[in-house]
């Protein structure tokens, strides 16, 4: 039986996760990407205004994100991540100037909440136990249905952490997804919660090495190839239409669609996907951080919600930022720089800057939208889906995207194995 080709459409981290896993297993892979470069929403580029390389979004990987770390191990780039040896998070409240550091215990038992110096100012140890309710939250419920979304602990810890993870205002966001985040991180202790960032940028860690990996394994890569439609015959896809180019799908071939949710629902009839999305706004300022500047700083009471310090710049991230995306870029830069100055104690005038707006950064992590997420396996026997919008049981994160790619690759391998078994069985039935 001839080994089929796996056609992976989409070269974001979900598609690259699937493609590299299959290539590593010896499969023949063809990768297609609509944009002129790979990476999707997880990539770096040289910004002309700053004359330096920036990421199109600030992303944190946690030390317990096993799918993401396994992907980087495959590429040999885990050492591209940097972060503290222990799990801690620095915060500042711009409303009253208070600063604190959350220091998580290394193991599963949260001894840290017993220490006043390691928890949020103005909170008691018992306050933290209310979060346990989210662990058992049922689909269809919101965070506001399960825990009180008020008070010092919520405003100074749960709100910024959950907003960053879900990119949706926590009171109306899915409690089930919040529970999944807790099980994957806080519940497993500090050893799973160390915040890691890509030292030289997202592309250097996640994207460029993946393309090089695929090329070494004989994969064919087609950039600037936008999939316009899929020809479906019965239970199979038999043709992919990239404008004037038509790709025939042989009987042994498989297809992984690692395309955005709206594209997947257009290409495949009857496939339901999330329809609401949330924006993210990032600000980048070309200034060298001072000695002692926290690598990551959570901000309460400002437009900037997280401040990231890199060797040559300071960047900010604001989640669920639909309220900001239509503001003039100059206004956003002034507001974000004002927060940076207050948070870091700076007096310098605003340096060269760049504002990056992503209007549809992630699907809205609402209960109803979470329930619209499709499984990776489709009703077509040779098509699988990949993407952070699929039913990964996680929010739209790098970990979820990479996990979705691994799931799609596993589905393809099972499809191939079943075909081989069926072929062998039919041969045995032939009497000589």
Question: What is the residue-averaged pLDDT of the chain?
Answer: 94
Q: Are 24 and 409 in contact (CB under 8 A)?
A: no
Q: Are 392 and 407 in contact (CB under 8 A)?
A: yes
Q: Are 6 and 256 in contact (CB under 8 A)?
A: yes
- In the prediction, which pLDDT does 3 show? 79
Predicted confidence (pLDDT) per residue in 140-185, tens digit: 999 999 999 999 999 999 999 999 999 999 999 999 999 999 999 9
Q: Which domains does the chain have, with CATH numbers?
A: 5-43+202-275+367-429 (3.50.50.60), 88-191 (no CATH), 277-363 (3.90.660.20)
Predicted confidence (pLDDT) per residue in 27-75, tens digit: 999 999 999 999 999 999 999 999 999 998 899 999 999 999 999 999 9
Residues in the chain: 432
Quote the pTM value: 0.94
Distance CA 198, CA 296 (A): 13
* Mean pLDDT, residues 112-118: 94
Distance CA 304, CA 299 (A): 7
Q: Which residues contact 94 (CB under 8 A, 6 or more apart)?
A: 299, 300, 301, 302, 339, 342, 343
Strand partners, 356: 282
Pairing of strands 277-285, 195-198: unpaired
Distance CA 378, CA 255 (A): 11
Q: Is the pLDDT of residue 402 over 80?
A: yes
Predicted confidence (pLDDT) per residue in 353-389, tens digit: 999 999 999 999 999 999 999 999 999 999 999 999 9
* Mean pLDDT, residues 82-102: 96
- Look-up: residue for tokens 């395309």? 259
- In the prediction, which pLDDT does 432 show? 37
Predicted confidence (pLDDT) per residue in 221-272, tens digit: 999 999 999 999 999 999 999 988 999 999 999 999 999 999 999 999 999 9
Structure tokens at 54: 């920036």
Torsion sign over Cα 186, 190, 192, 194: positive
> What backbone phi and psi angles, to 5 degrees, belong to 256?
-115, 120
Distance CA 113, CA 116 (A): 7
């Amino acid at each position: 039986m001839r080994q089929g080709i796996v056609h992976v459409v989409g070269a974001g981290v979900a598609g690259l996760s699937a493609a590299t896993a299959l290539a590593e297993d010896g499969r023949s892979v063809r990768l297609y990407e609509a944009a002129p470069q790979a990476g999707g929403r997880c990539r770096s580029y040289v910004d002309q205004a700053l004359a330096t390389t920036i990421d199109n979004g600030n992303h944190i990987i946690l030390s317990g994100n096993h799918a993401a770390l396994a992907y980087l191990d495959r590429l040999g780039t885990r050492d591209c991540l940097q972060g503290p040896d222990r799990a801690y998070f620095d915060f500042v409240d711009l409303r009253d100037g208070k600063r604190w550091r959350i220091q998580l215990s290394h193991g599963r038992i949260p001894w840290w909440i017993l220490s006043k110096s390691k928890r949020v100012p103005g909170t008691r140890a018992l306050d933290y136990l209310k979060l346990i309710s989210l662990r058992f939250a049922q689909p269809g419920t919101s965070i506001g249905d399960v825990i009180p979304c008020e008070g010092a602990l919520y405003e100074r810890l749960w709100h910024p952490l959950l907003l960053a993870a879900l990119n949706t205002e926590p009171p109306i966001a899915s409690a089930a997804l919040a529970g999944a985040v807790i099980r994957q991180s806080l519940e497993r202790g500090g050893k799973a919660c160390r915040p890691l960032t890509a030292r030289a940028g997202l592309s250097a860690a996640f994207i460029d090495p993946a393309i090089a990996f695929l090329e070494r394994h004989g994969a064919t890569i087609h950039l600037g190839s936008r999939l316009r439609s899929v020809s479906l015959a019965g239970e199979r896809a038999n043709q992919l239409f990239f404008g004037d180019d038509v790709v025939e799908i042989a009987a042994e071939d498989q297809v992984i669609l690692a395309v955005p949710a709206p594209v997947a629902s257009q290409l495949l009839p009857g496939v339901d996907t999330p329809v609401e999305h949330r924006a993210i706004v990032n600000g980048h300022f070309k200034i060298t951080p001072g000695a002692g500047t926290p690598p990551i700083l959570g901000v309460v009471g400002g437009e900037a919600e997280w401040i990231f310090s890199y060797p040559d710049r300071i960047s900010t991230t604001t989640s669920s930022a639909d309220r900001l995306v239509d503001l003039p870029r100059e206004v956003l830069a002034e507001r974000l720089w004002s927060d940076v100055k207050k948070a870091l104690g700076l007096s310098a005038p605003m340096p060269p800057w760049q504002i990056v707006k992503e209007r549809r950064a992630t699907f809205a992590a609402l209960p109803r939208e979470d329930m619209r997420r499709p499984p990776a396996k489709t009703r077509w026997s040779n098509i699988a889906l990949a993407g952070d919008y699929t039913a990964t049981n996680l929010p739209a994160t790098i970990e979820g995207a990479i996990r979705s790619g691994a799931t799609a690759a596993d589905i393809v391998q099972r499809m191939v194995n079943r075909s081989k078994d069926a072929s062998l069985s039919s041969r045995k039935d032939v009497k000589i």
